[in-house]
Structure 1
Amino acid sequence: MKRLKSGLSVAALALAATLVGVTGSWAQDLPRGDAKALGFDPARLARMDATFGALIEKGMTPGAVIMVIRDGQVAHLSAMGKRTPDGDAMTEDSIFRIYSMTKPITSVAAMMLVEEGRLILNAPVATYLPAFKNMTVVTGEKDADGNAVTRPAKGAMTVQDLLRHTSGLTYGFFGAGPAREAYKAAEVASAENTGIEQANLLASLPLEHDPGTVWEYSRATDVLGAVVEVVSGQSLEDFMKARIFDPLGMTDTAFYVDDEADFDRIAEPFADQDTLGGSSLFDPRVRKPNQSGGGGLMSTAQDYAKFAQMMLNGGELNGTRLLSPKTVQLMTSDHLKGIKPGKYYLPGAGYGFGLGYAVRLEDGNAPSFGTAGEFNWGGAAGTGYYTDPKENMIALLMIQSPANRGPLRLIFRNLLYPTIAESRNDD
């Protein structure tokens, strides 16, 4: 995918190359392996594809790409259905809006700066974005004029709060209330704002909760992207390209699809499913000022698999190291002890939340297959990604079906784990 030039200085590029240990195998896809030799039941993998084929026939999504990786090898990769409702067949290299699967990548970008001593987890966000000083919180009441009553926030919002969704921020489309109404009125979702402009706008609005007290899914990772821009001195896109995408060979991952030759590779939903929070899905063919760290990236199964394998490897892929294993361990550990789950606790039963990821706390309790230590996240248009360190497995579901993302992802997980014929989970 062709992107705009990064505009990085030669010195900055040299520094990035030194820090990540750039190798010459940038664009190499993960190697293909034999499913049976990797411990999977080929018949059950075929059943998974057949089931999704039937779901496609029922109109739950135009098409899908499914990818299963173990021991660093692709055990299963299938493309089925159509890329667009009335277009060509789905292909393995189709490009998807990954929405909130952007969040783990932005979180990695931030943690790279933490490793370099340029960003501090328990530092107030206001250290980097001064507009976040003196935040207020809604009380749930309104004054005589109908305006939300607020009070000073108890405590400062930290960088860690942004990473684990305990910032006190919210999204404008989950539920109702004064804070959410303020978001809608201020049009915080507008793609016409740069990341830093959006962050400053959010800072001018009241919080839903006191920082550090409640897990509330929110625009915190958008703010985190703005922090990365301030600390690095680069746009979020430039930083990600130089420090993550190029080193890992993620050639089809960017905030926008700039090359017209790639337009036909973009997967689309059915027309009656082309809405998200009351708005149409964004058009990646048209560049806007916003580079959303919380949900703006486009990617392919092959590209995202490289990022996922880097994390499963403890921060390294093909000799290119982005993070220390200890940093990955910190990110994929639960950070919510003593913190109340909000009304819309998306990780679900049996899960905590780390720095950018939902983290499974035990084998049982959750209403889906999985293993303690598994970490994952998904996107609003339906994409989902799951990493199981004990099984040494990664699985990706790439679809564009906002209306049916919940059931399709659950079905995928419940089809995936029974394909394992040889479990590595011996605990």
Structure 2
Amino acid sequence: MSNGGLSKERLGRMRGVMTGYVERGELPGMVTLVSRRGELRVEAIGMKGIGGSDPMRRDTIFRIASLTKPLTAAAAMILVEECKLRLDDAVNEFLPELADRRVLRLLDGPVDDTVPASRPITLRDLLTLRLGIGAVMAPPGRYPIQKAIAEAGLAPGPNPISIAPDEWMKRLGSLPLIHQPGEAWMYHTGSDVLGVLISRAAGRTLEDFTRERIFEPLGMKDTGFHVPDSELDRLPPSYMTNRETGGLMVHDEPQSSLWRSPSVFPSGGGGLVSTADDYLAFCRMMLNKGSSGRMRILSRPSVELMTMDHLTPEQKAEAHVFLGGSSGWGFGVGVSVRRNDLAGVPGRFGWDGSTGTSAYSDPKEDLIGLLLTQRLMDNPGPPNALLDFWTSAYQAIDD
């Protein structure tokens, strides 16, 4: 047993399990991180690219996808603490495109068959993804609203958004909501809207605001919405499943990367790149109730509010593919509410990213875990590599 309560022998078991994914060709490489009570174990496993000779490194820069969401929510809470935004105020002042919403009468109905929204959309709705529109979990094109979302260029996906924020908001405002505000949890879109709201309320880009108020104070020097040319050698290729062969094919090459140029739309829902140590700094701040050393990013009450479940059973009803039966949603983070596996400790918070990333913090165990890979997920459910990482992290607890 060690001071951090992690078994060295069992951490070795975790390395063996995760190395197996590289040896079988399921992943080119990865970075794993487990921190508990001040003890830190970081492993860089495999290579940056398939068939390459460049080893994965601790400072490799990853596209973190939806691990962006907690950072965006933290940025919004900074503005709440400064009284520049209020949780239950309508967002119409800063997002007039979302005023006077119409709501679909039926999910499978025509997009012009609508009723008036029962109330305005609030900041709380954006933080909890209850604004009334988001990813529709059905085969593409099943419903007219899905087709309309896709045709508007607003369908969630793994790539940076190529539409400027004002135009993006205009297009979103042209569509009806799918649910009444506050009625149901729908994934993703609310976090992108939240990023625009933060930018307009702060009077600067989301990138500038998060860098000044979160990244720089926490020393997150490699976190941002694009990778500078000087650091491009640290960005690995990303891969996706080739549906025809079952193998891997390139999704994004570093030299022609969609993250190489400054983002047209800094996506609060999934646009960031980061490193293991950078993201650990954010997780430590959240686990430490908003403070980092002598510096405070958020108040303890804000972090407590962010990391509690805000959803009713009715609001979760259509979210089983994401939340299962044991998770809820706080402000920008998933929150465990019922233990159904080793890692599902009630109060544990964090999220997964569609590019093959996962980060959770566990106040009860004083544990942070982080898995960074560059293989896009095949579906919303976590792949086996993520499941095995979390099982391995928790089986290594030695007290």
TM-score (norm 1): 0.84
Give the corresponding residue for 2:49.
Answer: 84
SS class of match (1:215): coil
| Alpha-carbon distance in 1 for matches of 2:123, 2:383 | 29
In structure 2, which of residues 379, 383, 388 is the aligned counterpart of residue 411 of structure 1?
388
CA contact (8 A) 2:29 2:47 kept: yes
> 1:33-69 deviations in whole A, cap 9, x for unaligned?
xx82211111110111111111111122111100011
Quote the offset at 1:172 in angstroms: 6.2
| Alpha-carbon distance in 2 for matches of 1:234, 1:371 | 38
CA contact (8 A) 1:142 1:148 kept: no
Give the corresponding residue for 1:182.
Answer: 148
| Alpha-carbon distance in 2 for matches of 1:307, 1:181 | 37
> 1:209-234 deviations in whole A, cap 9, x for unaligned?
11101111131010000010111001
Alignment partner of 1:284 is 2:284: no
Alignment partner of 1:396 is 2:373: no
CA contact (8 A) 1:67 1:74 kept: no
Give the corresponding residue for 1:353.
Answer: 329
Alignment partner of 1:235 is 2:209: no
In structure 2, which of residues 76, 84, 90 is the aligned counterpart of residue 110 of structure 1?
76
Letter in structure 1 aligned against 2:337 = L
CA 1:174 to 1:90, structure 2 compared with 1: closer, same or farther past 3 Å? Answer: farther
| Alpha-carbon distance in 1 for matches of 2:106, 2:51 | 47
Letter in structure 1 aligned against 2:329 = F
Bigger mean CA offset, 233-242 vs 82-91: 82-91
| Alpha-carbon distance in 1 for matches of 2:123, 2:111 | 30
| Alpha-carbon distance in 1 for matches of 2:108, 2:326 | 37
| Alpha-carbon distance in 1 for matches of 2:18, 2:300 | 35
Quote the offset at 1:141 in angstroms: 6.8
SS class of match (1:140): coil
Letter in structure 1 aligned against 2:350 = N
- State how 1:62-73 maps to structure 2 within 5 Å: 62-71=28-37, 73=38
SS class of match (1:214): coil
Bigger mean CA offset, 96-105 vs 194-203: 194-203
CA 1:339 to 1:318, structure 2 compared with 1: closer, same or farther past 3 Å? Answer: same
Is there any run of 5+ residues in structure 1 with no aligned partner, and where? 1-34, 423-427
Bigger mean CA offset, 314-323 vs 346-355: 346-355
Quote the offset at 1:154 in angstroms: 2.2
SS class of match (1:398): strand
Alignment partner of 1:269 is 2:238: yes
CA contact (8 A) 2:95 2:197 kept: yes
In structure 1, which of residues 149, 152, 161 is the aligned counterpart of residue 113 of structure 2?
149
Is there any run of 5+ residues in structure 2 with no aligned partner, and where? 244-249
Quote the offset at 1:125 in angstroms: 1.9
> 1:272-296 deviations in whole A, cap 9, x for unaligned?
469xxxx955621133411101000
Quote the offset at 1:138 in angstroms: 1.9
CA contact (8 A) 1:140 1:148 kept: no
Give the corresponding residue for 2:288.
Answer: 313
CA 1:271 to 1:335, structure 2 compared with 1: closer, same or farther past 3 Å? Answer: closer
For the aligned residues, what is the CA RMSD? 2.1
Give the corresponding residue for 1:7.
Answer: none
Give the corresponding residue for 2:19.
Answer: 53
Identity %: 37
| Alpha-carbon distance in 2 for matches of 1:237, 1:316 | 21
In structure 2, which of residues 222, 233, 241 is the aligned counterpart of residue 252 of structure 1?
222
- State how 1:4-43 maps to structure 2 within 5 Å: 36-43=2-9
Quote the offset at 1:151 in angstroms: 2.1
In structure 1, which of residues 320, 334, 350 is the aligned counterpart of residue 309 of structure 2?
334
Give the corresponding residue for 2:164.
Answer: 194
SS class of match (1:251): coil
| Alpha-carbon distance in 2 for matches of 1:254, 1:393 | 25
Bigger mean CA offset, 400-409 vs 91-100: 400-409
CA 1:51 to 1:263, structure 2 compared with 1: closer, same or farther past 3 Å? Answer: same
Aligned length: 378
SS class of match (1:257): coil
Quote the offset at 1:367 in angstroms: 4.3
Quote the offset at 1:343 in angstroms: 2.7
| Alpha-carbon distance in 2 for matches of 1:44, 1:245 | 33
